[in-house]
């Protein structure tokens, strides 16, 4: 009996190892990373209270005070509209940010300042577009910042002390599209995609939650079948088709419906994800970068690719050899 448990433990360990290798991100050298701080889930607050967060940058320190340095940045932030409402974004009084500290450190603040901007926000979809900053006259200065530092502090108003929400970093609006990734500006005037974006969370992370924006001409809530959707989170690049719909009885796509979506564009075409509709945008606009449907997914078919299958294949010979050893 003890050997049987050992076999199961060994096979399970190998499977978990393969899964970990498949889902653990690897940060390359010389990358630029934007991340939400604190990285651990933000504690619950009373509904109506404020939820503060910060976005920080990590970049190569050797870029500091060189032509390769960062002269500006731009991003947007979203959350779950059932849990949070965007309230504002700005600088912390008396504390300089990443770009200001660079100017002060090297004495450039006598001649150069930064300009901080905020774009439109939507309480209905919990989206805050185009939070950005640039060194005014960066082309004349010809040098930018490197290393690490705080970009800004943001604030949500809590709508729930129970529901969790991702605090998702994504790209700025650059008509006619919304960029997938946050961006940084170099002294040559070129915008670059941020290499790594690490989101935060309110109360707890929500790995089984999907945010979708309607594609094309949008969708008719009374006839959602075979409509196309752009995944906004957790991977803002995949496209899906709605292939199955179990209505809750109100004859429109709404909360508590069950839907199946098939990936049409992405790393695993044909993969099916199915789940429970948690929220539907009351005034959806296709392709605007704001969530139109939020769905809590059930277990998808091979959502991590072939890693789980490979793990099982590796485990089979181990079990077979152990059993052969017992028979001798």
Q: Which residues contact 5 (CB under 8 A, 6 or more apart)?
A: none
Model confidence pLDDT, tens digit, residues 119-178 = 999 999 999 999 999 999 999 999 999 999 999 999 999 999 999 999 999 999 999 999
Q: How far apart are the first and last CA of the chain?
A: 17
Specify the residue for token string 């959602």: 224
Measure the CA–CA gap between 87 and 128, rounded to whole angstroms. 9
Domain ranges of the chain: 31-202, 209-297
Listed as ranges, residues in the chain with pLDDT below 50 are 1-28, 301-328
For residue 58 the two structure tokens come to 């990590």
Phi, psi of 149 (to 5 degrees): 170, 170
191's enclosing H/E stretch is strand 191-193
Q: Which of 72, 54, 28 is nearest to 196 (CA)?
A: 28
Three-state SS for 37?
strand
Q: How many CB atoms lie within 10 A of CB 207?
A: 10
- CATH label, 31-202, candidates 3.10.20.70, 2.60.40.10, 3.40.50.150, 2.60.40.680: 2.60.40.680
Measure the CA–CA gap between 55 and 75, rounded to whole angstroms. 10
Peptide bond into 308 cis (omega under 30): no
What DSSP letter does each residue of 257-323 carry, written as one string? -EEEEEEEESSSTT-EEEEEEEEE-SS--TTSSS-SEEEEE---SSTTTTHHHHHHHHHHHHHHHHH
The model's pTM:
0.81
> Which pLDDT value is given to residue 299?
60
């Amino acid at each position: 009996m003890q050997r049987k448990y050992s076999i199961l433990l060994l096979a399970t360990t190998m499977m978990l190892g393969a899964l970990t290798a498949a889902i653990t991100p690897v940060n390359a050298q010389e990358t630029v990373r934007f991340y939400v701080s604190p990285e651990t889930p933000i504690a619950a607050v009373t509904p109506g209270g404020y939820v503060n967060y910060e976005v920080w940058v990590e970049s190569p320190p050797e870029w500091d005070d060189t032509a390769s340095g960062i002269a500006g940045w731009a991003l947007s932030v979203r959350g779950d509209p059932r849990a949070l409402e965007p309230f504002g974004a700005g600088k912390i009084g008396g504390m300089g940010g990443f770009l200001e500290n660079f100017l002060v450190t090297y004495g450039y603040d006598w001649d150069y300042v930064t300009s901080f901007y905020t774009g439109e926000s939507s309480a209905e979809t919990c989206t805050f577009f185009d939070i950005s900053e640039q060194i005014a006259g960066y082309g004349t200065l010809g040098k930018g910042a490197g290393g690490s530092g705080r970009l800004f502090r943001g604030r949500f108003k809590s709508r729930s002390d129970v529901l969790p929400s991702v605090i998702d970093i994504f790209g700025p609006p650059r008509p006619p599209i919304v960029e997938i990734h946050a961006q940084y500006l170099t002294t040559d005037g070129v915008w670059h995609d941020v290499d790594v974006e690490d989101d935060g969370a309110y109360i707890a992370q929500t790995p089984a939650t999907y945010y979708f924006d309607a594609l094309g001409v949008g969708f008719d809530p009374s006839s959602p079948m075979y409509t196309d959707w752009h995944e906004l989170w957790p991977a803002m690049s995949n496209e899906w088709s709605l292939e199955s719909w179990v209505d809750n009885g109100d004859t429109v796509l709404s909360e508590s419906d069950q839907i199946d979506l098939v990936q049409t564009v992405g790393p695993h075409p044909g993969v099916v994800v199915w789940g429970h509709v948690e929220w539907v945008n009351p005034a959806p606009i296709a392709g605007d970068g704001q969530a139109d449907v939020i769905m809590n997914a059930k277990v998808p078919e091979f959502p991590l690719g072939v890693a789980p299958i490979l793990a099982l294949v590796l485990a089979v010979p181990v079990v077979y050899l152990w059993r052969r050893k017992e028979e001798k």
